Structures are given as structure tokens and as C-alpha cells.
Amino acid sequence: MRKLAQNQYFYLLVLVLMLSGIRNAWSAFTIDDEKKVGKEIYEKLDQENYLSHDKKLNAYVSEIGGRILAHSNKASFPYTFTVFNSSAINAFATPGGYVYINKGLISVVETEAQLAGVMAHEIAHANSRHVASIIEKNKKLNIAMLAGIIAGALLGGGGDAAAAAAMFSVAGAATLSLKYQREHEEEADRLGIGYLAQAGYYPAAMVEFLKIMKQYEFLSKTIPSYFLTHPGTDDRIFYLESLLQTEYRRSGGSANIVGNIVRMQALITPDAGDLKKRRGQLTESLAKDPRNVDLLYALAVTEDQLGHTGEALENLKKALSLAPRDEDVLKSAGLIYLKAGDARQARFYLQKASAINPENDQTTLALGKAYFAEGDYAGALNYFLKLQHQTIEGEDINYHIAMSYGRLNQMADSHYYFGLYFKKENKTQSALFHFRKAQELTPAGTPKAAAIAAAMNELSPGKRSKPDSKPPARETAPK
């Protein structure tokens, strides 16, 4: 883990060193500089799997971000909101309008408004171009240091704290952490709380978040990484309280607007220890509010993650007795039955979920698998083909399509899709084998024959000549 983090750092460092057109000392750090640095960092983080691709989670934070932006008057960039794969409690805006929200932070907030408050504060930093002003003031801050500092701010804290510290010393930038100045914090809070209230959230959420973090710090005896980049917590609390007592005295506002924070939190898989803790908290909350469908759902997801299938299904059924048409609950029940090998029950729940939302890829894929498991291959194929052009994380739909055609004795199609599957896996020999078989079984001059020929063409030697093996792993960074 530590090595990975160091390599990660190295990539960032090299990357920013190589950025052309940016000078080594800054006279002015322009908006274009910001965009360039921000974009490159984003792409690098994505390549290294630091960015979550959970569509639901990203759509959720993006929608909250969009609401806040609609009420902030001077957004100077097109903003991007991304969920960051880290359990450290942190949120960070890099130059260029890229806002990252760690899974760890989403897990600890109590309301969407608290999350929105953190995001509003980050947006205010970005709108006010605080990072740019730090860079401009530090003439000695070169590109390498800047990269290191940003990497440290993003990766620091939590379980990676040691690695982050090591990373800093590699850069020789140990003393230069990216830390907003107190006046930056005041401005980000003043603007942020305004955005938050305008967006329709209750403004006190902002100070609530800081108090939760302080409590967390007290209990865990580790400083949340958020505090490392955003200093002056006590001052911030006093300042925000003063605004709440004066400017925002009469402000109402909602706790949740875009979605349902408890359900979003259920999408984040915590560590085993945290799972048990979460189960305890949810059980406690449910004791006070036993008919809360969100809590029942979240507890079911947690029990499932702990491997307790029976308990998970029991809670989902309780939830369904209160809300029979709840898509999330129906889908979860279907997925759990499928995993447990009960395809008939799986199909029962998945069909209900699909009737409510036919566009959910996960539900469609699971329905295909359930039909397949029951021996209804035409039914299965019907669902798999719907997903032909979708990307689904960790699954290759071509494989399922090929299997279904095979069972249906449509061998030309089966070979063709196996060809596509192996082609994607970079197993050229296997891909060619299946494409040739498909070719033999397909009448010439048909569109299908043309598709096979085109796919084979892309595999022709010269373009790709690897035998059955994955392409070489990316070069590892020197230690």
C-alpha cells in the first residue's frame, strides 16, 4: 500500500515536472495554468484508480455541486466533482475547478447539508483562487513542490499518513504543506455559508460538520486530514457561529435535497472493522426509529457486506413491507438472492426493480444472469444484449452474450462474441481463433461477415502482436 502511494506520488511529480509552458517560478498563476495543472492531475489520479467510478455516488456529489454553483456568482471554471477512493476524511479542490470528496468524508456526515457545506467551502476556495494566490506569493515554490504539495493534500491523512509524509520528504518539500491561510478560511466560510443557504440547505450544517470532525479527532486521536489543509478549526467555529447568530438568524433550509445520504453511504464499502461499527450504529438508530426504510436498507447492505445473507434479506423484507416499490431495496434483494444461488427468487425481485427503472445496468445484468442460471438462455440473451454497448465495471458483457449464444446453439454468434471478449482482454491468439470460426460459419457478404472482418483487421500483426498475455504492466517508478 505504501509502495503504491509512493509510486503514485512519483507519477504526479514527474507529470507536473513535464508540464510544458508553465514556468518554474510564477509571476502569475493564470486561469489557464490552473486548468492545465488540474486536468493533468485528474487524469493521473484516474489512471491510478484513485477516482471512484460509482455512477450513483458521482452523480450525487455532482448534483449537489451543481446546486451550489447555481448560487455562487463567480465560478471561473467548469467544475468537476469526483468521489475519491480514500477512507481519510478529506475534501480538496485542486487548481482548475476540480473538487474531490473522499469516501471517508461522505461516510461521516449526518446530513446532505453537511456534505454540501464542505463542498460550498471548497467551491469558495476555488472561486477565490486561494491556491493560485499561495503559489504566486511563494516565488520559490516550483512545479515539483507544487505537485508534491497537492499530492500530499489529496492522499495525506488516514491510513496513508505515513506514506504521505514519506512522499513529502522525497520531494524535499517537507515544510511546505498546502495549507490555506486563516484569512482564506474566513473568506471560504463567509462565501460558502452564503452559497449553502442560497442553495436551500440549512446553514448551521457547516458548523455541525466541524464539530463532528473535532469529535472524531478526539475519539480517534488522529488529526483528520481535512484539518491539515484547512487550519484554525476553533476560530472557524466561532466565526461561523457569529454568522449564524446574525446574518443567518432566520434562515431555514433543508437537511437533504438531492438524495438520500444514508443510501449513498451504503454504497461505500468500509473496512471490516468499520463495518461492525456501522452495523452497531445502524442497529442503535433503528431501535429508536424501527420503521425507517433507509436505515433498514443500510443495515441490510452492511449485513451483506459482512457475509450475513440471512440477516440482510430479513432487513430488506422488513423494508419492503413498509415500501414495496422501493427500487434500491428490490434490487438489493435480487442481487443477494442471485449471489446465494437462488435464481428464482432473484428474478422475482429484479423484475420488480426493473419495472420501476428499466435503465439500471446492474439490475439488467443481474436479470440476465438469473435467467441464465435458470436455463432460460433466450431470456438471458435478451437482457445481456441490452448492455452490449455499456461499460460495466468489472464485467465484460461480451462474455455473457457469447455464453448465451453458445447455449442456444448459435455458434457463429457465440464465436464472434468470444472473439470480442478475448480481443478486449488482449488475448490476440484466442480472439483470432474465435473470429476465424465465426467467419467459417457466416455467409460472406452479410453485415455480420463484415463486422467479423473489421474486428480481425484491428488485430492484424503490426497493430498488436502480443501472444496470449496482458500487455506489460506500466513501468514501475524507481524507489
Interacting residue ranges for Zn ion, rule: CB under 5 A: 180, 185, 188, 230
CB 121 to Zn ion: min, Å: 5
Cβ atoms of 262 and 282 within 8 Å: the answer is no
Q: Count of CB atoms within 10 A of residue 426's CB?
A: 16
Phi, psi (rounded to 5 degrees) for 79? -85, 150
Q: How far is the CB of 180 from Zn ion (least distance, A)?
A: 5
Q: Give the whole-angstrom CA distance, residue 156 versus residue 168.
A: 10
Gap between the Cα atoms of 287 and 165, Å rounded: 43
Work out how close the CB of 284 gets to Zn ion at its nearest, in angstroms, rounded to a whole number: 32
CB 208 to Zn ion: min, Å = 16
List residues bridging with 82 in a β-sheet: 100
Answer positive or negative: Cα dihedral of 268, 273, 276, 278: negative
CB of 117 to Zn ion, least distance (A): 11
Residue 125 CB, nearest approach to Zn ion (Å): 6
Nearer to Zn ion, 185 or 304 (CB): 185
CB crowding 406-415: b at 16 or more within 10 Å, else e: bbeebebbbb
- CB of 99 or CB of 365, closer to Zn ion: 99
CA–CA dist 385, 406 (Å, integer):
14
**Which residues, other chains included, contact 82 with Cβ-Cβ below 8 Å and sequence gap of 6+?**
42, 51, 52, 58, 61, 98, 99, 100, 101
Cell of 419: 472473439
Closest approach, Cβ 96 to Zn ion, in A, equals: 17
Nearer to Zn ion, 180 or 297 (CB): 180
Contacts of 27 (CB under 8 A, 6+ apart): 136
Q: Of all residues in this chain, which one has the CB nearest to Zn ion in the complex?
A: 230
Closest CB to Zn ion among 178 and 350? 178
Q: How far apart are CA 360 and CA 367, in angstroms?
A: 11
- Which of 332, 330, 312 is CA-nearest to residue 321? 330
Residues 317 and 303: their CA atoms lie apart, in Å, by: 13
Q: Which is nearer to Zn ion, 181 or 285 (CB)?
A: 181
Nearer to Zn ion, 26 or 180 (CB): 180
**Cβ closest to Zn ion, residue 180 vs residue 377:** 180
In the complex, minimum distance from the CB of residue 122 to Zn ion, in angstroms, rounded to a whole number: 7
Q: Which is nearer to Zn ion, 230 or 423 (CB)?
A: 230
Q: How many CA atoms lie within 13 A of 226 on its CB side?
A: 29
Distance between alpha carbon 301 and the CA centroid of its chain, in Å?
Answer: 18
Least CB distance from residue 227 to Zn ion, whole Å?
10
| Sign of the alpha-carbon torsion through 179, 184, 186, 191 | negative
Nearer to Zn ion, 160 or 185 (CB): 185
